[in-house]
C-alpha cells in the first residue's frame, strides 16, 4: 500500500490575484499620483516590480510602495515604504488598503507603487494619507483579477502501458503533473484542484477497471 504523509500535502484556499499590471493616475492639488499595481507571487517578485517602476519614474519626488506577496491572509511576506514622505503618511496607508482588500475581498499576491510628482502645494499629513489611500483604491477599481484555484497534492502509481491514458484524463481535468518517476511502476506526483478531487478519483478508478487509484494525503 502507498500512503502519503500529511507533510506532503500542498493545499491553498481559493483567492484572487491581479491578472495583469495596470497604471492609473490622479491629480490632487497639482501633485500627480501615478499608481502602478501588479502581481507578486513572492517577495522577490514584489521587490523586482518596485525596482522596475522606480526606475521608470526616476524624477518622481517619491516612489512609495506596499505589497502582500502570497496568500491574502496567511502570507507573512508583506511590507511598505514611505520613500521620503513623512512617516506613516504613504506606505502604511497603502498597505492598509491592500490588507482591507485581502481580508474582505480575498485578494493577494499584489504589489503597488505610487509615484508622486509634487505640484507645489503641501497636502499635510492627513491629506497625504487620503491621497495615497485613494490612489491605491483608484487602481483597484480598474484592476482585472483572476482566481487562484485551491489544490491538494496526490500520488498515482500505474503500469507503464497506462501512461498515455492517465495523461489524457489528467489533462482533461487540468491536473498539474509535478513529478514523474519510473520504478516497478510509473509514479506521478500531482496537484489536483480540490473541487474535482473526488470525481477524479472515481473516474481514474473506473476508466482503468480498478487497476489505478489516486492517493491523497492522510492526516494523522
Residue with C-alpha cell 487602481?
Answer: 139
Q: Are residues 161 and 211 in the same domain?
A: yes
CB-CB contact of 216 with 202 (8 Å): no
- If asked whether residues 25 and 72 sit together in one domain, one would say yes
Look at residue 1 in the predicted model and tell me its pLDDT.
Answer: 32
CATH number at residue 166: 3.30.70.240
pTM score over 0.75: no
Q: What 3-state class would DSSP assign to 194?
A: helix
Structural domain count, the chain: 2
Domain extent, residue 139, equals 20-143
Asked which of 123, 143, 163 is the last residue of a domain, the reply is: 143
Quick check: helix, strand or coil at residue 126? helix
Contact 40, 46 (CB under 8 A): yes
Instruction: Label the pairing between strands 78-81 and 151-158.
Output: unpaired
Report the alpha-carbon distance of residue 201 to residue 203 in Å, rounded: 6
Do residue 124 and residue 195 come from a single domain?
Answer: no
C-alpha cell at 126: 492627513
For the chain, what's the residue count?
220
Query: Cell numbers 490612489 correspond to what residue?
Result: 135
**What are the pLDDT tens digits along the chain (220 aa)?**
333 333 333 344 689 999 999 999 999 999 999 999 999 999 999 999 999 999 999 999 999 999 999 889 888 999 999 999 999 999 999 999 999 999 999 999 999 999 999 999 999 999 999 999 999 999 999 999 999 887 888 999 999 999 999 999 999 988 999 999 998 889 999 989 888 888 898 999 898 888 888 888 865 4
Amino acid at each position: 500500500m502507498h500512503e502519503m504523509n500529511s507533510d506532503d500535502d500542498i493545499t491553498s484556499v481559493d483567492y484572487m490575484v491581479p491578472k495583469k499590471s495596470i497604471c492609473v493616475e490622479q491629480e490632487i492639488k497639482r501633485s500627480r499620483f501615478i499608481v502602478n499595481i501588479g502581481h507578486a507571487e513572492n517577495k522577490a517578485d514584489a521587490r523586482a516590480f518596485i525596482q522596475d517602476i522606480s526606475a521608470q519614474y526616476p524624477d518622481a519626488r517619491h516612489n512609495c510602495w506596499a505589497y502582500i506577496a502570497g496568500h491574502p491572509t496567511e502570507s507573512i511576506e508583506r511590507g511598505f515604504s514611505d520613500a521620503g514622505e513623512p512617516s506613516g503618511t504613504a506606505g502604511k496607508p497603502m498597505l492598509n488598503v491592500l490588507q482591507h482588500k485581502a481580508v474582505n475581498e480575498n485578494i493577494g499576491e499584489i504589489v503597488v507603487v505610487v509615484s508622486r510628482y509634487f505640484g507645489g502645494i503641501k497636502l499635510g499629513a492627513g491629506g497625504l494619507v487620503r491621497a495615497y489611500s485613494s490612489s491605491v483604491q483608484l487602481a483597484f477599481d480598474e484592476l482585472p483579477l483572476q482566481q487562484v484555484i485551491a489544490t491538494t497534492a496526490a500520488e498515482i502509481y500505474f503500469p507503464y502501458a497506462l501512461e498515455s491514458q492517465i495523461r489524457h484524463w489528467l489533462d482533461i481535468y487540468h491536473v498539474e503533473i509535478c513529478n514523474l518517476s519510473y520504478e516497478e511502476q510509473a509514479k506521478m506526483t500531482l496537484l489536483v484542484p480540490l473541487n474535482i478531487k473526488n470525481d477524479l478519483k472515481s473516474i481514474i478508478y473506473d476508466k482503468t477497471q480498478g487497476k489505478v487509484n489516486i492517493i491523497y494525503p492522510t492526516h494523522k
